[in-house]
A = this chain, B = another copy of it.
Amino acid sequence: MARVVVDVMPKPEILDPQGQAVAKALPRLGFEGVTSVRQGKRFELEVDDAVDDATLAKIAETFLANPVIEDWVVRRVEP
């Protein structure tokens, strides 16, 4: 059993209204000094040891992320 994390973030050139909404709201709540916020997704997967890196890459690229609008990173983590 292995634990895998896939981070999926909107591409820098794509508008990120959610991140912007957070960034705008923070000063109103009294939090100064946050200059930019981007919001993406985090997936935590548990996979059988038989699942290799190529398969994980494929899962991320074809399914968890949409390459038109998102970047992604796959990494195995310690359980």
- Residues of A whose CB lies within 8 Å of any CB of B are 1, 7-9, 19, 22, 25-26, 29, 31-48, 50-51, 55, 58-59, 62-64
Q: What is the oligomeric copy number?
A: 2
Q: Is the CB of A9 within 8 A of B44?
A: yes
Q: Is the CB of A41 within 8 A of B44?
A: no
Q: Is the CB of B41 within 8 A of A39?
A: yes
Q: Is the CB of A41 within 8 A of B43?
A: no
Given the complex, which residues of B lie within 8 Å of A1, measured CB to CB? 35
Q: Is the CB of B50 within 8 A of A43?
A: no
CA of A22 to CA of B45, assembled, Å: 10
Contact of A43 with B19 at beta-carbon distance under 8 Å, contacts A35-B48, A63-B25 already known = yes
